[in-house]
Amino acid sequence: MLSGKKIVLGVAGGIAAYKAAELTRALIKEGAQVKVIMTKSAGEFISPLTFQTLSGNMVYTDMFVPTAKYDMAHISLAEFADAFVIAPATGNIIGKIAAGIGDDLLTTTIMASDKPTLICPAMNDKMLANPLVQDNINRLKKYGYVIMDSGYGELACKTQGAGRLPDASAIVEEIETLLTPKDLTGQKILVTAGPTEEPFDPVRFITNSSSGKMGYALARVARRRGAEVTLITGPTDLPLPPCKKVVQIRTAQEMYAAVLEHFKKSTVVIKAAAVADYRPAVLAKEKIKKNNQPFPLMLERNPDIIAQIGKSKGNRILVGFAMETENLLANAREKLHKKKLDFIVANNLREDGAGFQTDTNIITIIDTSGKAESFPKMTKIEAADKILDRIKEAIRRKGKSKK
């Protein structure tokens, strides 16, 4: 999703400088062009050759290098960039930028730039907590710099605390957010994702193959586009997206309770979760012992969550998914009307590259007029964008009809 984007990565002199190599790789993998500026002290921790090899570009370390072509690096890098990221950002570099000091290539380039800039502080926890550093961070925020929260955990000095450089994937997510137009600002979007698990004894349960990828993609893209996102998720192996609120549930009944609690505060509800329609009627206290007899399992209905909230949805936009293996459009249309949805996203598990587990999906969006729009195979992130485009359109139409 960063394909064609030009990122200038500033690396300052902290032990986490080695992690900037991983970040460079991740950005290149996402399709970005990366140019790296290193401070003099960053060179004490990691070699420019590492970044040159990973980025495929020369690495900028010095203001005053004579070049064959007249080119003021700090100006040309500021013009080249779509966005800047400083990772790791030391207390020193944060202080210099906040004070308007430009005494090396990185600080002068930042001073010459009007591009969106993400700053990722990484340092010892006491340094980070120092009121001077905090004042400088707040000053940078005031001037529009985006400051990423540092991670908590074991630091290089072996203490536990805040000050770790977040993982490369989390920084890439923040860069995506920085570069995405905020056309869903003001919307409060509730997304459900993943499977539910319905236990019948302490070690066994019924579930399905949902990985959570479709719902998590929706949560990520909605946040990137400026919405305040609440994610209600069943058990998955995925890293949690950085939403305003994440509620982790196990069973359909827990998901029902969580949706009821949060849906009133939402303007949009998207139900991508694969909810179990049935649960075992009895939950054994102890592990059920096997014998040679067949094992009948009595099931009872779970609440149909989306149908329940459909009854009192008010002016909210309600979007469901239809997961089908046959008669995709007919079954999806039936669910759309029965559950009082604004539109439904149909996907056929029998199609290669659609449905459970894959990073791609093949979706058809059907609205209440009966119109169906089918999309080719695309990544779940791209599919999420298409769904959110439709939501934006539905919000606009509802807004108009209220006037």
**93, 275, 384, 388: which one binds ligand PMT (CB under 6 A):** 275
Which residues within the stretch 52-91 sit at the binding site for ligand PMT (CB under 6 A)?
A: none
271 binds ligand PMT (CB under 6 A): yes
User: In this complex, which beta carbon is closest to ligand PMT, that of residue 20 or of residue 323?
Assistant: 323
Query: Which residues in the 355-374 window bind ligand PMT by CB under 6 A?
Result: 355-357
What are the start-end ranges of the H helices in 61-202? Answer: 73-80, 91-98, 105-111, 125-129, 131-142, 168-179
Per CB under 6 A, the list member of 79, 261, 277, 300 interacting with ligand PMT is 277
User: Helix axis angle, 17-29 relative to 168-179, nearest 10°?
Assistant: 60
Residues classed as catalytic: 157
CB of 297 to ligand PMT, least distance (A): 18
- In the complex with ligand PMT, the residue whose CB is nearer, 22 or 351, is 351
Q: Look up residue 80 and give its two tokens.
A: 């080249």
- Note whether 233 binds ligand PMT by CB under 6 A: no
Provide the mask over 292-331, with x wherever binding to ligand PMT is found by CB under 6 A and - wherever it is not. ----------x-xxx-------------xxxx--------
Binding mask 140-179 for ligand PMT (x = CB under 6 A): ----------------------------------------
Question: Could you give the CA distance from residue 321 to residue 347 in angstroms, rounded to a whole number?
Answer: 8
Whole-number Cα distances in Å, 1 to 135, 170, 236, 382: 34, 14, 23, 9
**Residue 184 near ligand PMT by CB under 6 A:** no
Interface with ligand PMT includes 280 (CB under 6 A)?
A: no
φ, ψ dihedrals at 126, nearest 5°: -70, -35
One-letter amino acid for residue 48 of the chain: P
Q: In sequence order, what are the residues at sequence separation of 6 or more whose Cβ sits closer than 8 angstroms to the Cβ of residue 42?
A: 11, 12, 13, 14, 17
What does the alpha-carbon distance between residue 4 and residue 354 come to, in Å, rounded to a whole number? 27
CA pair distance 356, 252, nearest whole angstrom: 18
How near is the Cβ of 2 to ligand PMT at its closest, in Å?
22
| Strand pairing report for 378-379 and 204-206 | unpaired
Restricted to residues 191-220, the positions that interact with ligand PMT (CB under 6 A) are 194, 210-214
- The residue ranges that bind ligand PMT (CB under 6 A) are 194, 210-214, 252, 271-275, 277, 302, 304-306, 320-323, 335, 347, 355-357
